[in-house]
Structure 1
């Protein structure tokens, strides 16, 4: 091997590394666009069954079916947003009417009741709070800064919403648009494999996201019934937030339960701990755990096992691995990514025994 060959090899390796770094830098710079495309892809996957329903059952033309689907999607998100308005308005009013001395007395009374019930020395939490300069939190300088941040981000949000809807329209209108765009990276002889893989991934993920929406809807209804029974303020909004927490596997329900219990306490702050607060919290916690058991052993196996055609143990391990690698974001995207990997492996690595075993139901 002469010096020219060695130099050529080194230059080629450097060029590849520089190219990869350049591509990563480019992807980093356009990450907002990639996020828009990802959100639009999710909307198109969730809306695709409805578009097909409108076209096949109600005889809508393609464009009209897509427009109706997008309007329903917008209406759904607006309805969800409107559910948050009462709780935000109420909390804003409470902050405006807050009496620091009364809050201190209520917390001190609750602290004393808890200490008496548990037969322990009075907790030091309230003293710690009293030693903290809470008035700094209400410093008026925060208000102009918050307004400026809101106005600066409002334009970006509008651009993002418009971009997502615009991309979603064309993805729903032309179901082959994304596949054809990605085919430019495939070899001519592999195009059929790519098309089969894309079609299978699209079908499986479409069913998965519809199943996800069904799971959140069921949990929302059950949480709402539970919170209405025990008179928690803004039960519908709180139930929706708790249901959305379940989009994060395993740790989401924990956060949702803590959120529900905290709001249940604040709804009854100042009342007797032993006779009112503790029994109500106990019943709410029992009801919440029963709902989670229903979700874990009935909803999820039926919805997700059938939608992505994976064994529950596979899903658990995939979520665990993605969570360890990528944190909370990895927990959320674990199932879609694992499903896509399985489909691609079946098309291109089907000669391996482990791939055949894992993909036999696909």
Structure 2
């Protein structure tokens, strides 16, 4: 037994602790198997976490946005509790102003755009139809779609018929959104205690683990905190800058629904790479239908905004803190969206950053164990 434990491989994996680790893995696997057989028992718990998931995400986002302000007020010798109360009062005032002044205007623009969207789409379809009929592909096109004009008229009639139902669906959506906003009234109370005792949470969590591993876990918590803080604060500032620049640009070129389209661009820019593609779609349809020159002006505005955001704003605000390759981001977004929908797309990048921190620290831990136990017996050393 002692000879078995003295081999480099066994010592690398923990010696006697290897049996304990294997037992824990077996125990976890057994629990997962049992859970798969009686998962219906845990449906209320799953439903509970699904219900509070959005609130928790929103609370964490606001926490990281307000934490620097609380720290700044503490620098002016204002007690933390009073700093939290002052900050929450100012934020509540801004949110109230937003709800009563800006959101109703956006709602009116959104309803108006929904009403006119069928007309925009039909005009776009007719424009494409006429362009193809006068192009070199006209013969092939006419053979395939001899009666496209009549078909488009039928589609237009059907769209007009269903506009009322669409408006009812939009109204229902707005009502649901209003209920969510009302439910979030409880957010300040949760946020207050998170801002007050959030710094103590890592130390409280560390008490669960053995003292020997607490320093390593504290570094992991600090790394996660840094990644979340950098991403959330940077992304919100970048999104606001994009929305402001798009609004000014749309006003300059005279594009309809400037504020609504800029708000869509600001919100969707939270999703890297895919967000701008989603944001440009409604603006592109409106510009094409308005005039070819409007399409050129929209392309200029979009190009200028993307250049400013990519070359100046994002590098200065977010820098290279996440160190995630663009291709990796795209795959992460697509996978998270397929598995968890819109919520998955929102939390995909920060979630990946957290997992990356944990994996990096685990890799460093294994490297130290390898250097301690396996390196002296390595037959392929660098000197050979």
Q: Which TM-score bucket, shorter chain as reference? A: 0.7 to 0.9
Q: What is the distance in 2 between the residues matched to 1:324 and 1:234?
A: 30
Q: Tell me the residue number matched to 1:50.
A: 69
Q: Tell me the residue number matched to 1:293.
A: 307
Q: What TM-score, normalized by structure 1, do the two folds share? A: 0.73
Offset of residue 302 of structure 1: 3.5
Cα distance, 1:297–1:39 mapped onto 2, change above 3 Å: same
Structure 2 residue corresponding to 1:349, chosen from 344, 350, 363: 363
The C-alpha deviation readout for 1:18-70, integer Å capped at 9, x for no partner, is 258759743443222233222211211111111111111x3321112112322
Cα distance, 1:190–1:318 mapped onto 2, change above 3 Å: farther
Q: What is the distance in 2 between the residues matched to 1:188 and 1:204?
A: 25
Structure number with bigger Rg: 2
Cα distance, 1:107–1:40 mapped onto 2, change above 3 Å: closer
Correspondence 1:40 to 2:59:
yes
Q: What TM-score, normalized by structure 2, do the two folds share? A: 0.69
Contact 1:66-1:169 within 8 A present in 2 as well: yes
The C-alpha deviation readout for 1:228-285, integer Å capped at 9, x for no partner, is 111123423321221211111111101111122234467x4xxxxxxxx110112112
The C-alpha deviation readout for 1:137-171, integer Å capped at 9, x for no partner, is 4269x85x887787677555423x03432221111
Correspondence 1:319 to 2:346:
no
Q: What is the distance in 2 between the residues matched to 1:66 and 1:86?
A: 31
Q: Tell me the residue number matched to 2:21.
A: none
Q: What is the distance in 2 between the residues matched to 1:322 and 1:61?
A: 42
Structure 1 residue corresponding to 2:90, chosen from 60, 65, 72: 72
The C-alpha deviation readout for 1:186-229, integer Å capped at 9, x for no partner, is 33432232223223322332232111122112212211121011
Contact 1:193-1:348 within 8 A present in 2 as well: no
For the aligned residues, what is the CA RMSD? 3.9
Q: Which runs of 5+ in 1 are unaligned?
A: 1-8, 269-276, 355-362
Q: What is the distance in 2 between the residues matched to 1:291 and 1:349?
A: 40
Q: Tell me the residue number matched to 2:261.
A: 238
Correspondence 1:187 to 2:210:
yes
- Aligned to 1:349, the other structure's residue is in SS state helix
Q: Tell me the residue number matched to 2:271.
A: 248
Contact 2:122-2:156 within 8 A present in 1 as well: no
Contact 1:111-1:123 within 8 A present in 2 as well: no
Offset of residue 93 of structure 1: 6.4
Contact 2:109-2:257 within 8 A present in 1 as well: no
Correspondence 1:282 to 2:282:
no
Q: What is the distance in 2 between the residues matched to 1:189 and 1:42?
A: 32
- Aligned to 1:209, the other structure's residue is in SS state helix
Question: For 1:204-243, what aligned pairs fall within 5 Å after superposition?
Answer: 204-243=227-266
Contact 1:87-1:237 within 8 A present in 2 as well: yes
**Count of aligned pairs:** 324
Q: What is the distance in 2 between the residues matched to 1:297 and 1:193?
A: 37
Cα distance, 1:86–1:259 mapped onto 2, change above 3 Å: same
Structure 2 residue corresponding to 1:175, chosen from 190, 193, 198: 198
Question: For 1:4-15, what aligned pairs fall within 5 Å after superposition?
Answer: 14-15=30-31
